[in-house]
Chain A
Amino acid sequence: MQTVQPRSLPLRLPRVRPGGVLPILAILAVLLVLVGIRQPDFLAPQSLMSFLGRSAPIILLAAGQYFVIVSGEFDLSVGSLVTAQVVVAARLIDSDPARTWPVVLLLLAFGALVGLVNGLITTRLRVPSFITTLGMFLILVGAVYLWSDGAPKGGLSEEFRRFGRRAFEDVPVLGRVPYALLVLVVLAVAAVLLMRSDFGRTLVAVGDNPRTAELSGVRVWRTRTFAFILSGLAAAVAAILLGGYSGVSFQAGAGLEFGAITAVVLGGVALGGGRGAVVGAMLGALTLELLFALMNFYGVSGALRSTVQGGIILLAVAVSATRSSSR
């Protein structure tokens, strides 16, 4: 899927950020208006803050996925990685508050390690990332079930869970600001800064045309491996927030990889790499979450959610694809 394709003019290199954020902003605005009409309370600071807090994990996963996708690869392992992290955390913490911080550090290291392995197998052994991360998906799911004999054990400490469910109370104007939202804001700013740094430009160049990047002295394998590590780290943070918010289950991360990829694509990022902004990817995730909230408000049955989701994704991507090809 993403081999060396001599795509269009290589002279596109200097234009590293051809935006693409506007369409997703427009969709987001329309959804906000629709939500506002149906459920004006939703736009009150209080509920908006908690909505943003709830959406933090998927937004972070989308940012992580963005790094991998813009460099020309895929990461299908993040959903299973989130599940594995949550289950591992519960078992290791075993409801003992003293173990909270060591386990948090361990989870981050574990996420980075899985990303490193994904990256090295993809770049050094030349296995397509679709297959690498699919294999990793099977391995992680199998391993986590195996390790816990088929049912999650132990429990998360209250200390651990506060990241995902607590908030700063009585903040002026905003009311209640979830810790998760704070984590999200800090990491989102870091992601944007990272994309503006040399590394960010290199990452996009690698995705746009790996051959050219290689010839201009970039170590493509190193850059891509680093992107996978970032995705693994994002999954670790998402797991910490999700575990706190919704607790331990084998379903904790189910389907999140497709959710994240969808969000990234909705945000105007091209699969195959080289085009799109990290802000777009994060807005894509926010849009997707808002869409689900909207469907709730309009009483769409839970079962039909995926149909609406599928329809909107196809529509959005088809419209943007036909527009960009007619230019």
Chain B
Amino acid sequence: MSALSLSPARRSVPGVFVALTLTLTIGWLVVLLDGGQLFNQSTTVSLLHVAAGLGLVAVGQTLVILGGSLDLSVAYVISLSTLVAAETMNGSDGAVLPAIGLVLVVSAGVGLLNGLLVTRFRVNAFIATLGVGLLLKGYLDNGYDGPAGTTAPSLVQALGYQRVGPVPVSFLLLIAVTAAAWFALSRTRFGHHLVAVGGDPEVARLSGVRNDRVLVTAHVLCSMCAGLAGIYLASRLGSGAPRVGTEGLYDLESIAAVVIGGTALAGGRGGVIGTVGGVLLLASIDAIFNQLEVDAFFKQVIRGVIIIAAVAVYARRAMRKAA
């Protein structure tokens, strides 16, 4: 695997978008033959809502994976964030900003813990974030049996349901976060350092990059993205939900979306634009199957096949390029 490629983001982006276009075209035709309409207002809106939730998590996940790490605790951070948000607001519009602030602080704290475990204590990222996830799971299981707290009505209105044409505000938030992450990755020192650390930590260190600091930052940002996803879900559901993150399989699905988007799981190659493509691809498949009223379990089987197939295609291309 080449350690340092100069334009890490550019190469793998088109693939997923070709797949997305193909999927949407074929899906549109199939749904049309079935007597339905894929791109009417309600399906488009719900597709973008699904994409917004998963997308926020996946963009954060992209950052840690680029750095050669990964985060399995995001699902629990999401659940925790919905609860922190909804319980702090407790239905009052005045408490929206403090609640959002508190969620970001709490999730940043979790990210900091993840990052320190991975860097200072040299715990394998898989185990470190799994362990932190278990810590949070115990707290959630112990303290909550069901929904708790109430999201402020104004936030439910603004982030949960408000939209501009067919585009929900939450999706605009995703676009903003993606743009910020893209900028950070391709135009700032942090971004270049992160990719270098993911490509070859030893070379990065010898070139004067402070690997630990870069990775900790990536972990903090990743958890904060999961926190944002939690705020979005709290505004969608109207309350805090202690199992929403795990039931949505946000941990594994976000990693899948990142990898489908062309980011190498080993780190050092890829970017957030591809990830959004991956998220849209997963959300489109969902929408198409919903339109065709395909069995939910069958959908999951197909999802598994697609994830494997997509990555196999990337691997094939990488091999041909290397040859």
Q: Which residues of A contact B (CB under 8 A)?
A: 1-4, 74, 121, 125-128, 130-132, 134-139, 141-143, 145-146, 150, 258, 261-262, 265, 271-272, 301-311, 313-314, 317-318, 321-322, 325
Q: Is the CB of B133 closer than 8 A to any CB of chain A?
A: yes
Docked complex Cα distance between A1 and B302 (Å): 25
7 residue pairs bridging A and B, Cβ less than 8 Å apart: A128-B265, A130-B255, A135-B308, A138-B300, A139-B305, A271-B126, A321-B123
The complex places the Cα of A163 from the Cα of B250 at a distance, in Å, of 37
Interface contact B312-A125, CB-CB below 8 Å: yes
* B117 interface contact, C-beta 8 A: yes
Q: B300, A126: Cβ atoms under 8 Å? A: no
Do A127 and B311 have beta carbons less than 8 Å apart?
A: yes
Bits for B224-267, please: 1 = Cβ < 8 Å to A, else 0. Answer: 00000000000000000000000000001001100100000110
A142-B304, A146-B297 given; name 19 further pairs at CB < 8 Å.
A1-B126, A4-B1, A74-B126, A127-B312, A127-B315, A134-B304, A134-B307, A135-B304, A138-B301, A139-B304, A265-B127, A304-B142, A307-B142, A309-B138, A310-B138, A313-B131, A317-B124, A318-B122, A321-B123
Measured between beta carbons, the chain B residues less than 8 angstroms from A125 are 312, 315-316
| Set of chain A residues within 8 Å of B305, measured between Cβ atoms | 135, 139
Judge whether B192 is part of the interface by a CB distance below 8 angstroms.
no
Whether B93 is near chain A, meaning CB under 8 Å from some CB there, is no
Cβ distance A228 to chain B, nearest Cβ, rounded Å? 14
A304 to B315, CA, bound (A): 42
Which 6 residue pairs of A and B lie closest in terms of their CB atoms, listed nearest first?
A307-B138, A310-B134, A142-B300, A138-B304, A139-B304, A303-B141
Are A128's CB and B301's CB within 8 A? Answer: no
Q: Which residues in B have their C-beta under 8 angstroms from that of A308? A: 138
Given the interface pairs A1-B266, A262-B127, A321-B123, the reply to whether A309 lies near B134 with Cβ below 8 Å is: yes
Contact among B124, B135, B304, B316 for A311, CB-based, below 8 A: B135
List B131-147 residues whose CB lies under 8 Å from chain A. Answer: 131-135, 137-139, 141-142
Select from chain B the residue with minimum beta-carbon distance to A318.
B121
Chain B residue nearest to A136 in the complex (CB): B304
Contact residues of B with A, CB < 8 Å?
A: 1, 70, 117, 121-124, 126-128, 130-135, 137-139, 141-142, 252, 255-256, 259, 265-266, 295, 297-305, 307-308, 311-312, 315-316, 318-319
Q: Measured between alpha carbons, how far is A145 from B256 in the docked complex, in Å? A: 21
Q: Is the interface of B mostly helix, strand, loop or mixed?
A: helix
- A306 and B266 contact, CB distance less than 8 A: no
Contacts of A311 in B (CB 8 A): 131, 135
> Is B135 within 8 A of A307, CB to CB?
yes
Report chain A residues within 8 Å CB of B135. Answer: 306-307, 310-311, 314
Cβ contact within 8 Å between B137 and A146 = no
Q: Which chain B residues border A138 with CB–CB below 8 Å?
A: 300-301, 303-304, 307
Most chain A Cβ neighbours within 10 Å, of B127, B139, B265, B316: B127
Residue of A nearest to B268 (CB): A3
Chain A nearest CB, measured from B131 CB (Å) = 4
Which residue of chain B has the shortest Cβ distance to A145 in the bound complex?
A: B297
- Tell me, rounded to whole Å, the shortest Cβ–Cβ distance linking A7 to chain B: 10
Pair A121/B297 contact, Cβ less than 8 Å: no
**B298 and A131 contact, CB distance less than 8 A:** no
Please judge, given known A-B contacts A271-B124, A304-B142, whether A310 and B133 are in contact too, CB under 8 Å.
yes
Greatest chain B CB density within 10 A among A142, A271, A311 is at A142
Q: List residues of chain B with CB within 8 A of the CB of A121.
A: 308, 312
CB within 8 A of B265: which of A130, A135, A136, A303? Answer: A130
Q: CB < 8 Å: which of A126, A318, A321 contacts B319?
A: A126
Most buried by A among B123, B135, B142: B123
Please give me the residue from chain A that is nearest to B301 by CB atom: A142
Chain A CB within 10 Å, residue with most, of B70, B302, B303, B311: B311
User: What's the least CB distance linking A16 to chain B, in Å?
Assistant: 21
- A157 CB to closest chain B CB (Å) equals 27
Selected from B122, B298, B302, B315, the residue in CB contact (under 8 A) with A321 is B122
Do A301 and B142 form a contact, CB below 8 Å, given A146-B297, A310-B134? yes
Q: Report A-chain residues with C-beta under 8 Å of the C-beta of B266.
A: 1-3, 128
Contacts of A262 in B (CB 8 A): 127, 130
Q: Which of A130, A139, A325 contacts B122 (CB 8 A)?
A: A325
Q: Which listed residue, A131, A271, A302, touches B259 by the CB 8 Å rule?
A: A131
Q: How far is the CA of A203 from the CA of B138 in the complex (A)?
A: 36
A317 / chain B contacts, CB cutoff of 8 Å: 123-124, 127-128, 131
Give the distance in Å from the alpha carbon of A239 to the alpha carbon of B236 in the complex.
Answer: 39
Q: A148–B100 Cα gap in the complex (Å)? A: 43
> Across the interface, do B121 and A322 meet the contact criterion of CB distance under 8 Å?
yes
Contacts known (A146-B301, A310-B137); A126 close to B312, Cβ less than 8 A:
yes
**Bound state CA distance, A145 and B312, in angstroms?**
26
> B246 CB to closest chain A CB, in angstroms?
10
Residues of B within 8 A of A134 (CB): 252, 255-256, 304, 307
Alpha-carbon gap, A262 to B273, bound state (A): 33
Contact A314 B123 (CB under 8 A): yes
A residues near B121, Cβ cutoff 8 Å: 318, 321-322
Kindly state the separation between the CA atoms of A322 and B305 in the bound complex, as whole angstroms. Answer: 40
| Neighbour of A313 across the interface among B127, B255, B301, CB < 8 A | B127
B319 partner residues in chain A, CB cutoff 8 A:
126
Alpha-carbon separation in the docked complex, A302 to B138 (Å): 9
Give the docked Cα–Cα distance between A308 and B139 (Å): 10
- What is the bound-complex CA distance between A137 and B304, given in angstroms? 7
Considering the chains assembled together, what is the distance between the CA atoms of A105 and B301 in angstroms?
A: 25
Q: CB distance B303 to A142 under 8 Å? A: yes
A314 pairs with B265, CB closer than 8 A: no
A314 to B303, CA, bound (A): 32
Minimum CB distance partner of A134 in chain B: B252
